[in-house]
Structure 1
């Protein structure tokens, strides 16, 4: 009998929430099978089986908070787990109990035998079930989740939300629903509150005429997507402009350590990404050393990992400055909260046609409000304003980015 323990979770992380059990008591498991998912404030951690056998108990339930080293359950080693083929003696051609097999009609879909049986009992085609196991294997838990999910109904396209929808009421007469905060949501709340309390928080605003950058993006986006395989959005242009502005005003890229100011001679650009589990801020390493296209590739990669719950600790640590884009959800103006211990965050917003004065005449231009929230303890108002002005200059004359 061996104990399943909460593994080390990463830098400064001491607890997690049991997010989802992938195996049930009595299930036969092989070495390396994912048993349970743990959600920290930063990433989802899969706990694998360290030996083959049968899962005999689950000591913690979904939603329980656990600490590093806590016992999650127990595995009983045995012939069934160590040698699944033995369980199928007399049927030498049968698949091993834990080896994934191809689903009928979809040779590329890997399905565990338990999942195949559950799919047959539920009347589901396993090829239609998204696999969450290692390598995309469809597990029994995936099939059971698909079987219990309500039938999909057509609905209007809506922007991605910052958090998962509220749970449905327990019954029709219920007027309130209570749900325990996940570890990630609690930590997000703590960090935001700490940022407000630990910094001299101030925000300054400017607006950017997006005419030139929109024309450049429109001219290049098809070619970049065809040659580089990346959809060219405005975000990598802003990341490049911000990197250059941080070089001009290094205090905005600094950090306070006690009574010392630590200047960062590199830019690890944090990009706020909305996911079902909440807002996360992975960062693009050495953003100041990269081209706009390479920044776009890196942003796409970390954003996908964030939405898929596959971020690593390296993705989430070491950031020096952050950009958040509420404009994709329709926000016209906001005051973003500093991603502590950083000292500055740039907020982007919706591009909207507005009348502006150009050389004494009124013209309709695509305009965007931008906001810089900063720690006034080390960043003076003049530096903050000039930093935003520099970003404005670069975005309104994007060719200037090429000479730096």
Structure 2
């Protein structure tokens, strides 16, 4: 007896998805509710659980196919019949695997598969650190690094025997649904909003000193590290009270003002940049903000963010400094009207009290929709954020 596996409900207004990865192959044992496939929607990856315990049967669609909600994508065979066949097939398959590892037969994401091929790594010999022990790109790169540090061994011969295409070559990889959506939304933002970016720089000395002073006590009490994001989130909340247009949006011929601050935090995920939301950030304390951001960042890396995590958002903070970026012009996240870009901290000479001194400086960039936000408001908002960061006491006394 076989049970059908159908595409689950993916969220409000989401009717289809792309099959990103099969997590189980035909003949493998499957437990009840165990993920057998990963689907990519416009915003997040969604795992499809098995409705029954049994053995993975036929896969009715391929990776990269578009499937609708409710569509049957696979069947799970009854454990009684399929479980006996699976062990018998294992010994026969062992010989060719030992002779030459097959990347195609391993459940790998496109990025991981590409890294495996580029570095000549046997995925079967690498311990995965991803969700449910899956292999990540970082695992492959770490294995390649270790292999490079180790002395050359005879086992490298099979890799050398594999014929390689000489000269220049190209590779075509289909864009993921998430990447297509990112491209579409960013282009729509440029085509719709009258975007403009204003810059300032901020002396990070006081915040860095405060972090150093309270780091251990903060982490001991709250179980999370005190980072820069909580300071900037609180500074944005403070500035948005004086300049509410920055936290508003245009809806037709109306302006919608929010008396709350839901901050979209741009974080890097395996399939691209995502912007989960920290809700009611204006009413949160430093520890609550840090915990919320840490949780969203971890779930983005694990690919476990939900549609609900991505909904809404009234203002975005994007920290390109973690990648070493010195300056950028971030793009608005529609329908929001502004985004604050943070960058790397760099020691630079500045003038203080008539003297040239070296200070840890960071460039700030505020991109905004000029249809709603005037230049004076944008500059005032960014100046308020700068003053709050350079004098963190303002965050405590609401100045």
TM-score of Structure 1 vs Structure 2, range by shorter chain: 0.7 to 0.9
Deviation of 1:131 after TM superposition, in Å, equals 7.3
1:222 aligns with: 216
2:116 aligns with: none
Query: Residue 170 of structure 1 contacts residue 177 of structure 1 at CA under 8 Å; is this kept in 2?
Result: no
Distance 1:335 1:148, change over 3 A: closer
Deviation of 1:149 after TM superposition, in Å, equals 9.8
Query: Residue 272 of structure 1 contacts residue 281 of structure 1 at CA under 8 Å; is this kept in 2?
Result: yes
Q: C-alpha separation between the residues in 1 aligned to 2:125 and 2:282? A: 44
Deviation of 1:174 after TM superposition, in Å, equals 4.4
Q: How many residues align?
A: 356
Distance 1:2 1:218, change over 3 A: same
Query: Residue 221 of structure 1 contacts residue 232 of structure 1 at CA under 8 Å; is this kept in 2?
Result: yes
> SS of the counterpart of 2:145?
coil
Deviation of 1:208 after TM superposition, in Å, equals 0.7
Distance 1:254 1:260, change over 3 A: same
Larger helix fraction of residues = 2
1:7 aligns with: 8
Deviation of 1:24 after TM superposition, in Å, equals 1.8
Q: Deviations over 1:351-402 (max 9, x none)?
A: 1122212122222211111010001111111111100011011111101100
1:345 paired with 2:339, answer yes
Q: CA RMSD in A?
A: 3.4
Query: Residue 126 of structure 2 contacts residue 140 of structure 2 at CA under 8 Å; is this kept in 1?
Result: no
1:402 paired with 2:396, answer yes
What pairs with 1:176-215 in structure 2 (closer than 5 Å)? 176-215=170-209
> SS of the counterpart of 1:272?
strand
Q: Of 290, 293, 297, which residue of structure 2 is paired with 1:299?
A: 293
Q: C-alpha separation between the residues in 2 aligned to 1:31 and 1:222? A: 43
TM-score normalised to the size of structure 1?
0.79
1:70 aligns with: 71
Q: Of 341, 362, 370, which residue of structure 2 is paired with 1:376?
A: 370
TM-score normalised to the size of structure 2?
0.80
Q: C-alpha separation between the residues in 2 aligned to 1:345 and 1:30? A: 44
Query: Residue 263 of structure 2 contacts residue 316 of structure 2 at CA under 8 Å; is this kept in 1?
Result: yes
Q: C-alpha separation between the residues in 2 aligned to 1:294 and 1:78? A: 46
Q: C-alpha separation between the residues in 2 aligned to 1:155 and 1:275? A: 26
Q: Of 373, 381, 389, which residue of structure 1 is paired with 2:383?
A: 389
Distance 1:149 1:371, change over 3 A: closer
1:104 aligns with: none
Deviation of 1:19 after TM superposition, in Å, equals 1.6
Q: Deviations over 1:67-123 (max 9, x none)?
A: 223321223446447xx7xx69xxxxxxxx99xxxxxxxxxxxxxxx9xx98xx979
1:235 aligns with: 229
Q: Deviations over 1:307-355 (max 9, x none)?
A: 1111122211121100001112121111000011110000011111222
Q: Deviations over 1:39-89 (max 9, x none)?
A: 2232221111223444331111112222223321223446447xx7xx69x
2:361 aligns with: 367
Q: Of 301, 311, 319, which residue of structure 1 is paired with 2:313?
A: 319
Q: C-alpha separation between the residues in 2 aligned to 1:274 and 1:336? A: 15
> SS of the counterpart of 1:373?
strand
Distance 1:132 1:33, change over 3 A: farther
Q: Of 123, 128, 145, which residue of structure 2 is paired with 1:153?
A: 145
Deviation of 1:220 after TM superposition, in Å, equals 1.1
Q: C-alpha separation between the residues in 2 aligned to 1:402 and 1:155? A: 52
1:250 paired with 2:223, answer no
2:118 aligns with: none
Unpaired segments ≥5 residues, structure 2: 102-121, 149-162
Unpaired segments ≥5 residues, structure 1: 89-96, 99-113, 157-168
Query: Residue 243 of structure 1 contacts residue 287 of structure 1 at CA under 8 Å; is this kept in 2?
Result: yes
Q: C-alpha separation between the residues in 1 aligned to 2:200 and 2:145? A: 43
